[in-house]
């Protein structure tokens, strides 16, 4: 037992060679030490740093440190594992995540088809407007006037309203008969006694 660290030796006993590679925990250096050293009791300060240093010293010589860290990144919320504290793992997870700029990325918009006909250019321009590209940008990208781009935008808005279904205004009024109690029902055509 090491007097300075208060831990047992991290040397592995012979005979562990029969362990499968997927069972990395059986080859971990921490198996031969007290597991409590990986969960510091101090919260901050020099005592915390000392306790973390002891745990990280064990991790430094571990043959499965990378596998342990991969597991700990998502599977362990407390303690030292893979040579990192919980705070260091959270920081590393944030670093690995894609950066968010705060602005929503506009989806890729269609480009002017090279050598395309007038109808193909118009269709691509309308698709770009439907994808959220402003009319001024469409005019520049598709080499048309701003007026043409605005007409395309108006057509896209009209088509969108039609696709979503209008709430009214273009339907015939519902015919209601006040003389017959069964008017407007399936039994309307049936004779009553």
pLDDT by position in tens, the chain (length 193): 444 455 555 554 444 555 565 688 888 888 888 888 888 888 888 998 999 999 999 999 899 888 888 888 887 888 898 888 888 888 888 888 776 666 656 556 677 788 888 888 899 889 888 888 889 988 888 888 999 999 999 998 888 776 655 555 555 555 555 555 555 555 555 555 5
Q: Is residue 31 part of a domain?
A: yes
Position 181 scores a pLDDT of 57
Specify whether 20 is located in the same domain as 77: yes
Could you tell me if residue 63 is left (phi over 0), alpha (psi between -120 and 50 degrees) or otherwise beta?
Answer: alpha
What three-state secondary structure class fits 150?
Answer: helix
Q: Is residue 149 part of a domain?
A: yes
Specify whether 55 is located in the same domain as 88: yes
Q: Is residue 167 part of a domain?
A: no
Q: Could you list the residue range(s) of the whole structural domain that residue 129 is in?
A: 118-161
- SS (HEC) of 50-91: HHHHHHHHHHHCCCCHHHHHHHHHHHCCCCCECCECHHHHHH
Q: What does pTM read for this prediction?
A: 0.42
Q: Is residue 56 part of a domain?
A: yes
Buried b (16+ CB within 10 A) or exposed e, 160-176: eeeeeeeeeeeeeeeee
Total number of domains in the chain: 2
Specify whether 50 is located in the same domain as 87: yes
Dist. CA 173–CA 62, nearest whole Å? 80
Specify whether 87 is located in the same domain as 148: no
Specify whether 40 is located in the same domain as 80: yes
Position 2 scores a pLDDT of 45
Q: Is residue 102 part of a domain?
A: no
Q: Is residue 146 part of a domain?
A: yes
For residue 88, give the nearest of 72, 102, 100 by alpha carbon: 72
Position 29 scores a pLDDT of 86
Position 1 scores a pLDDT of 45
Specify whether 23 is located in the same domain as 72: yes
Q: Is residue 38 part of a domain?
A: yes
Position 23 scores a pLDDT of 81
Specify whether 92 is located in the same domain as 143: no
Q: Is residue 77 part of a domain?
A: yes
Position 142 scores a pLDDT of 86
Specify whether 69 is located in the same domain as 141: no
Specify whether 21 is located in the same domain as 75: yes
Specify whether 25 is located in the same domain as 87: yes
């Amino acid at each position: 037992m090491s007097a300075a660290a208060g831990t047992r030796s991290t040397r592995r006993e012979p005979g562990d060679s029969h362990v499968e590679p997927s069972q990395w925990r059986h080859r971990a250096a921490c198996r031969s030490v007290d597991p409590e050293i990986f969960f510091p009791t101090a919260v901050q300060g020099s005592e915390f740093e000392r306790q973390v240093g002891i745990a990280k010293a064990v991790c430094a010589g571990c043959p499965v440190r990378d596998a342990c860290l991969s597991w700990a990144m998502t599977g362990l919320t407390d303690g030292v594992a893979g040579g990192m504290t919980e705070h260091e793992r959270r920081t590393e997870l944030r670093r690995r995540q894609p950066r968010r700029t705060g602005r929503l990325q506009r989806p890729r918009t269609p480009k002017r088809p090279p050598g395309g006909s007038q109808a193909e250019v118009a269709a691509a321009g309308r698709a770009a407007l439907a994808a959220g590209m402003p009319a001024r940008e469409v005019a520049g990208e598709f080499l048309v006037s701003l007026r043409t781009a605005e007409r395309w935008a108006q057509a896209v808005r009209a088509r969108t309203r039609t696709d979503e279904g209008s709430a009214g205004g273009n339907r015939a009024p519902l015919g209601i008969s006040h003389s017959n109690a069964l008017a407007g029902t399936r039994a309307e055509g049936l004779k009553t006694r």
